């Protein structure tokens, strides 16, 4: 390499050329040489400390972080590395993401209840503040006692799970509880778009009354099109591949506690999202609120 040759030449006892002459001879700049020299003189991070930090970051991310999110995590811990270096580090330490498994849909759209129009049409990135668009869905988790049904509501702006409920049934009360929790926690203004699939729970008279009561505008996916509710599909996939599929739940109570912990102690508060510039929902929302405060000053 040219810069290395220059360094060796300058250090040689029989060298008669100055730095400027050597740079002109090799068609490189003096500033480029100094930058290269500064990089070479930077101390390499302690290998043991770096590997310990990488393993801790991998565990903190519940074995779900790929190279990009691990890079961000390590940078915040004081280890600034290139993406290629991160990939080599992951390979050396055997750090791999947990594998995803397919899971069964729960939508019952075979009913004669009213269907709301699809207001989103897969436009999931148009929000500018919290509580403008919520998406919701139901899934289920296996336990030795039988199925545990889970309903959740996701804010498209900050990816926060704003409401959820878990029961041993999937009647309308399940989704109603999740909605009540979200409203109590977020207190959204009228006009919020509430998007779901065409399941009978969401199309029921009681649930539609709730939406009207809260001033929400109903939106529903097309029949049998999971991509129309892709953000919820993504959340279920994260929940199951990062947590549920690696557990054996003997009771529904055990599953409830584990899912609660995943949502509150990890997904909403710690887990980095690539769509949020590798921030967690909590950090992204805090940054948004801080920006609003700065604009008012």
**Own/partner pairs for 36-45, CB < 8 Å, 24+ apart?**
36/3, 37/3, 37/7, 45/79
Kindly state the tokens that stand for 197. Answer: 């699939």
- The domain covering 133-293 belongs, at the CATH homologous superfamily level, to Ribonuclease H-like superfamily/Ribonuclease H (3.30.420.10)
pLDDT for the residue numbered 103? 47
Q: Which residue bears the tokens 């989103």?
A: 120
Q: What is the mean pLDDT of each run of 10 residues along the chain (297 residues)?
A: 76 74 82 79 68 79 78 82 84 74 51 82 93 97 96 98 97 97 97 95 95 96 85 94 92 97 96 92 94 81
Domain boundaries, the chain: 2-41, 47-93, 133-293
Kindly state the tokens that stand for 285. Answer: 């929302």
CA dist., res. 100 & res. 236, Å (int)? 11
For residue 294, give Cα distances in angstroms to 129, 290, 291: 16, 6, 5
pLDDT for the residue numbered 147? 96
Indicate the DSSP class of residue 279: B
Q: Is 162 left (phi over 0), alpha (psi -120 to 50) or beta?
A: alpha
pLDDT for the residue numbered 85? 84
């Amino acid at each position: 390499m040219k810069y290395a040759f220059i360094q060796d030449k300058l250090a040689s006892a029989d060298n008669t050329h100055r730095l400027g002459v050597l740079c002109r001879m090799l068609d490189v700049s003096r500033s480029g040489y100094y930058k290269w020299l500064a990089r070479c003189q930077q101390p390499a991070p302690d290998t043991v400390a770096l590997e310990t930090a990488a393993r801790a970051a991998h565990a903190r991310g519940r074995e779900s972080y790929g190279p990009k999110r691990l890079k961000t995590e390590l940078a915040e811990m004081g280890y600034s590395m290139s993406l290629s270096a991160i990939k080599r580090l992951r390979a050396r330490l055997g750090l791999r993401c947990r594998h995803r498994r397919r899971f069964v849909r729960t939508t019952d759209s075979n009913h004669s209840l009213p269907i709301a129009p699809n207001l989103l049409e897969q436009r999931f990135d148009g929000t500018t503040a919290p509580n403008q668009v919520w998406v919701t869905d139901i899934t289920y988790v296996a336990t030795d006692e039988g199925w545990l049904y889970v309903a959740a509501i996701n804010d498209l702006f900050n990816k926060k799970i704003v409401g959820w409920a878990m029961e041993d049934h999937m009647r309308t009360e399940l989704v109603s509880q999740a909605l009540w929790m979200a409203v109590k926690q977020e207190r959204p203004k009228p006009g919020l778009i509430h998007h779901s699939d065409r399941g009978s729970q969401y199309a029921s008279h009681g649930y539609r009354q709730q939406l009207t009561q809260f001033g929400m505008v109903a939106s529903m996916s097309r029949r049998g099109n999971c991509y129309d509710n892709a953000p919820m599909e993504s959340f279920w996939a994260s929940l199951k591949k990062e947590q549920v599929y690696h557990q054996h739940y003997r009771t529904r109570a055990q599953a409830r506690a584990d899912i609660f912990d995943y949502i509150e102690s990890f997904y909403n508060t710690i887990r980095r999202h690539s769509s949020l510039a590798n921030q967690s929902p909590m950090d992204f929302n805090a940054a948004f609120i801080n920006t609003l405060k700065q604009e008012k000053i």
